[in-house]
């Protein structure tokens, strides 16, 4: 199944995407994770993307599309993916449709995770991510057993540069302006759009998604 996860920053796309990938046997393609990896590696892409990311702005479409094209090209012969954080603009969505058409594996659905903005600001202040395995925690709702240490691999937990309140509020306004219109874009296409209430527990959100997908 090829799926797009749509939702504001902090809506839970990464959390739900990781769970879903295991459940439906697809791999997760998260442009935010790929970009952060590029920044850590100090690659040309990382250097070009960093200032946009730190400021909570979108990285230019051309850079993102090259990144996704390269990642899909490196994949196996059955390129089923859960797209998390991509597409984020109408031109990205149009390019994704074209890329998947070329691969002969069209999009099966779009899942929109809805969460009120004030909840998001609160969630983001507590997010910590394992710098080794990428497991996502929340100090308020899903803390690690030992402070700053990943339960899964013992890696160090870190706070993202773009999770400070002012940047989160800016990312939310960028989402409203550039990414929210994608919901109408998909609703006006033949691709099924499934909306879920993301202001529930992680397990309840996952159940809603599986139910909407008929799993
Ligand atoms: P990216 O990494 O994609 O960030 P985002 O979309 O802003 O989303 P987040 O990763 O912040 O949140 P999420 O929805 O995955 O939530 P999570 O599961 O972590 O992008 C970062 C930057 O890269 C962008 O700003 C941009 O600069 C650039 N970029 C990336 N892709 C791009 C693209 N396509 N085009 C242009 N630029 C691009 O959950 C958040 C917190 O809430 C966690 O602590 C989690 O534990 C907790 N939580 C999750 N679910 C629940 C729940 N149900 N109840 C309570 N807490 C929960």
Active-site positions read 13, 88, 127, 160, 171
Q: What is the pLDDT of residue 99?
A: 93
* Domain 3-26+80-212, CATH homologous superfamily name and number: P-loop containing nucleotide triphosphate hydrolases (3.40.50.300)
Ligand 1 pocket test: pick from 5, 15, 84 the residue with the most ligand atoms within 8 Å of its Cβ: 15
- Is the distance from the beta carbon of residue 64 to the nearest atom of ligand 1 less than 6 Å? yes
Cis peptide before 2 (omega within 30 of 0): no
- Is the distance from the beta carbon of residue 9 to the nearest atom of ligand 1 less than 6 Å? yes
Positions of the chain with pLDDT lower than 70, given as ranges: 76-79
Q: What is the pLDDT of residue 215?
A: 85
Q: What is the pLDDT of residue 80?
A: 83
Query: Does the predicted TM-score (pTM) go above 0.85?
Result: yes
- Is the distance from the beta carbon of residue 142 to the nearest atom of ligand 1 less than 6 Å? yes
């Amino acid at each position: 199944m090829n799926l797009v996860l749509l939702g504001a920053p902090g809506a839970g796309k990464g959390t739900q995407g990781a769970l879903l990938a295991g459940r439906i046997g697809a791999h997760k393609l998260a442009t935010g994770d790929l970009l952060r990896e590029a920044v850590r590696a100090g690659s040309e892409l990382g250097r070009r993307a960093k200032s946009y990311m730190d400021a909570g702005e979108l990285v230019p479409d051309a850079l993102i599309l090259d990144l996704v094209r390269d990642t899909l090209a490196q994949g196996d012969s059955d390129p089923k993916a859960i797209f998390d954080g991509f597409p984020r603009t109408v031109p990205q969505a149009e390019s994704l449709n074209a890329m998947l058409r070329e691969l002969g594996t069209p999009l099966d659905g779009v899942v929109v995770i809805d969460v009120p903005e004030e909840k998001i600001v609160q969630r983001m202040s507590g997010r910590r991510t394992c710098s080794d395995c990428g497991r996502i925690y929340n100090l308020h709702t899903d803390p690690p057993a030992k402070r700053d240490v990943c339960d899964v691999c013992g890696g160090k937990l870190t706070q993202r540069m773009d999770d400070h309140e002012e940047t989160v509020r800016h990312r939310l306004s960028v989402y409203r302006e550039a990414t929210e219109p994608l919901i109408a874009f998909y609703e006006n296409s033949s691709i099924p759009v499934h909306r879920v209430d993301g202001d529930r527990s992680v397990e309840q959100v996952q159940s809603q998604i599986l139910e909407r997908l008929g799993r």
